[in-house]
Amino acid sequence: MTNPYAPPQAAVEDIADPAAGVQLADRGTRLGASILDGLIFGLMVYLPFLAAAAFSVLPQGPQREPDFGPGLQIGLGIALIGFVVWLGLNIKLMKANGQSIGKKACGIKVIRRDGSPVSLSRLVWLRNVLNGVIALVPFYGIIDALFIFGEARRCLHDHIADTIVVKA
């Protein structure tokens, strides 16, 4: 006799995860790619501006007063050109294969959690712009980074954008 109040019994087959065949990127590799991206951005954008600013404030002429004029404007122009070149390279790589310059150098890329390629809009808006806005909340950056230590190796911005970082 069956118990009418017993929970239902059914054999359930798990659905295979389409991304099961990919190999997640190591935490250290992701950190290295992030550091490399920051260094490249700093060299292409901040360094020209800071160098021009430093040379502009050096005392010049008989009055020994700093000159904030053309040198600073040239540095700002070079920094702007560096930013446009950096942005163009990153957009080209992100569109082609879900990679930034640092990720390309480290041999990793971003894909959707289901294993499909990630769109440029998802990379830009969810992983970068929205994440940057949320980063205005104190301690968010630390919490975002600490999520990498979960079993899925996904930062909080990966959860927001429904992405994973894998070996390319």
Q: Structural domain boundaries of the chain?
A: 24-167
Q: Which residues contact 77 (CB under 8 A, 6 or more apart)?
A: none
- How many H-runs (helices) and E-runs (strands) does the chain carry? 8, 2
Alpha helices in 27-69 (DSSP H): 27-41, 47-56
Give pLDDT tens digits for 39-56.
Answer: 999 999 999 888 887 777
- The H or E element containing residue 112 is strand 108-112
For the record, the structure tokens of 73 come out as 């404007």
Range 134-154 average pLDDT: 95
**Cα distance between residue 159 and residue 168, in whole Å:** 20
CA 166, distance to chain mean position in Å, is 14
Amino acid at 91: I
Instruction: Record the pTM.
Output: 0.81
Range 132-144 average pLDDT: 96
Give pLDDT tens digits for 70-122.
Answer: 777 888 888 999 999 999 999 999 999 999 999 999 999 999 999 999 999 99
Q: How far is CA 90 from CA 16, 21, 42, 115, 161, in A?
A: 33, 27, 14, 21, 18
